[in-house]
Amino acid sequence: MHPILSRLSRLALYLLAWIPLAALLAYLMAATGGLTARQAISLSFPLCFLYAFVCLSAWYSCRAIPSGRSTIGKLLEVHIAAALVASGLWILCAELLAYIFNGMSLYPGLTGRLSRTLPILFAAGVILYLFSVSFYYLLLALEASQTAEAQAIEARVLARDAELRALKAQVNPHFLFNSLNSISALTTSDPAKAREMCILLGDFLRRTLGLGEKSTIPLAEEMSLIHAFLAVEKIRFGARFNMEENIAEEALKMNIPPLLLQPLVENAFTHGISNLIDGGWVRLDARCQNGALSILVENSFDPEAPPRRQKNGMGLLNVRQRLEARYGDRATFNVRTEGDRFSVAITLPAEGEGRAT
Amino acid sequence: MSSRNDTKIRAVIVDDESLARQVVREHLAPHQEIEIIGECANGFEAVKLITEQKPDLIFLDIQMPKLDGFEVLELIDTGSAIVFVTAHDTYAIRAFEVHAVDYLLKPFGAERFEAALDRARERLNANSPTAAVPATELAATARPPAQYLERIPVRDGAQVFIIPVSKLDFAEAQDDYVALSTEGKKHLKQQPISSLEAALDPSRFLRIHRSYIVNLERVVKVEPYGKDTHVAVLRNGVQLPVSRAGYARLRAFLER
């Protein structure tokens, strides 16, 4: 669709914009060619009206050769050639018009005076045509950036959807199977403990499944989910791990996306503690500072642990993508390995009950 | 081995979770003919116990501290029947590639466990086919494609060493073994050099000779040595023969 021709109101505006141009041209012709004001005006206005439509056609050549896909040289070559041709035809029209006026004995001697202004007219024609070309390229660029923005928004919506789907698939099946195996062991040796573990596992699952529906939850709620998870792992791993928490009171009220930290704590088990013969530790720090909520999940691991024979890091990747999709630049996510310590540091905007946002 | 029927089947349980070991133990309890000679909670212990005791039957978890189940298999001389016990179904194909008798997915019931035991007995009564194929080679080839070796476990007696491939200078074929040279020491491992070559990242390690694989980072220069042959000089001064085909491969690599 032509941006100007497609609407009558735009076309009218466009033609109005040519009126000062026609006036300027008339002035130039009068000044350089010795034409009278009437002669100049009766030539320049019909000529400009005609040329306004010639310049409209530049849109089609601009769209046919987008600026991004051809070299500058090629672009200049094509459009300058077009400008020369258009302007050449234009001055032919001017001469024809002057000839007609002459024939009608309206303005005797007009053709002679016009020939003196022809170079000016030609130059004006070329410049006006090239000006339209740049105008259309500008429009095209604007359009492209708008499309890009729309696509970015669409991508974000898709990321949100992916986030929701990921949340629903969040419960790690291996955690579930190993826990069920532990329950299976306990049923004979310690039925009371087996029952306790069933209840803990049920509690954890119910919370996990319920949270997927929410957009954010207070950190306190995420922590109680983590505690439910740890209670199950405590039975599986016995004394093989130690959990330390340093969470500022105000941080507990801050809102975070649900199941943001639980996968990190679970990671600490699958890649850290489960590979340590003498057991290991997990530490979770959270505090508010300068309008941001900083969270650190740190754990010990064996740098010489057997390599995982399947893709890992899905939990980390998922957390990072969810932060990005939701907070963009306002959140950070840093993974560090230092000796036998592995840590994930997250900052996100401190939003929640305790703070007006 | 033919007198297996008169003697007890000696079994080992390897799992890092004590509750998981307990399940296997309970399932074995009614079987008078099976004697549990030991339990291990990690890969190192497992290699030591299995090497010393040579059990008939091994219940083996896959993800464990120190060495995983497949690495344990690489380091033991298996005449043993292996039953993998794991919560991960993704390893099943590889488990059977290393001739596992069965693959039990946690949690499992008595019926499924009995079926695994039957298969194990069958395997032990037959003339053990696993003995014909070295487990090392199988375990190495069972590696997933597009994932190269990051470390090589080796065993000296009952002691296990882990060699990160970045510390491997070169490997030399010696009959059925490869000698792995690292930090001036040599470790022998029962494995054909071709299977080691296949498991190593080809952009870091090159077979320069029928009997040698070299860590390309260690090569300082390549010099002519007699007619048609060359030697590669390593950073530590060691000189390795380079065959004609090896020289072509080395040049192709250096020109890239």
Interatomic CA distance for residues A249 and A287, integer angstroms: 8
Nearest one of A61, A185, A188 to A134, comparing CA atoms: A61
List of chain B residues whose C-beta atoms are within 8 Å of the C-beta of residue A303: none
Tally: H helices and E strands in chain B:
8, 15
Report yes or no: B189 and B174 within 8 Å, Cβ to Cβ: no
User: At B172, is the pLDDT very low, low, confident or very high (cuts 50, 70, 90)?
Assistant: very high
Of B118, B139, B160, the residue that ends a domain is B139
Judge: B22–A307 Cβ closer than 8 Å, yes or no: no
Binary contact (B87, A308; C-beta < 8 A): no
Name the region of A328 (left: φ>0; alpha: ψ -120 to 50; beta: rest).
Answer: left
A95 φ/ψ sector (left φ>0, alpha ψ -120 to 50, else beta): alpha
Q: Which residues contact A2 (CB under 8 A, 6 or more apart)?
A: A56, A59, A60
Q: What is the pLDDT of residue B29?
A: 94
For residue A227, give Cα distances in angstroms to A200, A249, A261, A301.
Answer: 10, 17, 11, 21
Together in a domain, B83 and B199: no
| Contact with chain A for residue B93, Cβ under 8 A | no
Write out chain A's pLDDT in tens, 357 residues. 788 888 888 888 888 988 998 898 888 888 887 778 888 888 888 888 888 888 888 888 888 887 777 788 888 888 889 889 989 998 888 888 888 887 777 676 777 777 788 888 888 889 989 988 888 888 888 988 999 999 888 887 777 776 666 665 567 888 899 999 999 999 999 999 999 999 999 999 988 888 767 888 999 999 999 999 999 999 888 878 889 999 999 999 999 988 889 989 998 988 888 888 888 999 999 999 989 999 999 999 988 887 765 445 667 887 888 888 888 889 999 999 999 999 999 999 998 875 444
Q: For chain B, first and last CA: distance in Å?
A: 55
Q: How confident is the model at residue B2 (pLDDT cuts 50, 70, 90)?
A: very low
Domain identity same for B209 and B236: yes
Domain that holds residue B34: 2-139
Strand-pairing partners, residue B161, are B154
Please tell me whether residues B132 and B164 are part of one structural domain.
no
- Tell me the CA distances in angstroms from B107 to B89, B134, B210, one per residue in order: 12, 31, 47
The residues that bridge with B104 in the sheet, in sequence order, are: B85
B60, amino acid identity: L
**Domain co-membership, B135 together with B9:** yes
CA–CA distance, A204 with A228 (Å, rounded to integer) = 5
- Chain B contact present for A185, CB below 8 A: yes
- Tokens describing residue B100: 């596992």
In this structure, the answer to whether residues B172 and B80 fall within a common structural domain is no
Reading the block at residue A184, the tokens are 């299976």
Chain A contact for B63, CB < 8 A?
Answer: yes
Residues of chain B positioned with their CB less than 8 A from the CB of A277: 41-42, 65-66
Are residue B160 and residue B228 in the same domain, yes or no?
A: yes
Nearest-10 crossing angle of helices A110-168, A314-327 = 130
Integer CA distances (angstroms), A210 to A220, A257, A325, A353, B63, in order: 15, 13, 21, 21, 31
Task: Sheet with B168-174: list strands edge to edge.
Answer: B185-190, B177-182, B168-174, B212-215, B205-209
Distance CA B47, CA B180 (A): 19
Q: Is the Cβ–Cβ distance between B12 and B38 less than 8 Å?
A: yes
Within a 10 A sphere around the Cβ of A311, how many other Cβ atoms?
Answer: 10
CATH number at residue B73: 3.40.50.2300
Q: Are residues B153 and B237 in the same domain?
A: yes
pLDDT at A252: 94
Q: Which candidate from B20, B88, B150 shows the least CB-CB separation from A307?
A: B150
pLDDT higher than 60, residue B143:
no
pLDDT for the residue numbered A156: 77
Number of structural domains in chain B? 2
**Smallest Cα distance from A216 to chain B, Å:** 32
CA distances in angstroms from A40 to A78, A110, A115, B129, B136, listed in the order given? 32, 10, 13, 107, 99
Architecture of domain A169-349 in this structure? 2-Layer Sandwich (3.30)
B126 with B167, same domain: the answer is: no
SS (H, E, C) B188-207: EEECCHHHHHHHCCCCCEEE
CATH number at B173 reads 2.40.50.1020
| A118 Cα distance to chain centroid | 51
- The answer on B248 and B157 residing in a single domain is yes
- Are B12 and B131 in the same domain? yes
CA B230 to chain centre: 33
A184 with B107: Cβ contact below 8 A: yes
Residues B109 and B205 in one domain: no
Rounded distance, CA A120 to CA B195, Å? 83
Nearest to A182 among B19, B105, B143 (CB): B19
Residue ranges of chain A assigned to CATH 3.30.565.10: 169-349
Residues B44 and B67 in one domain: yes
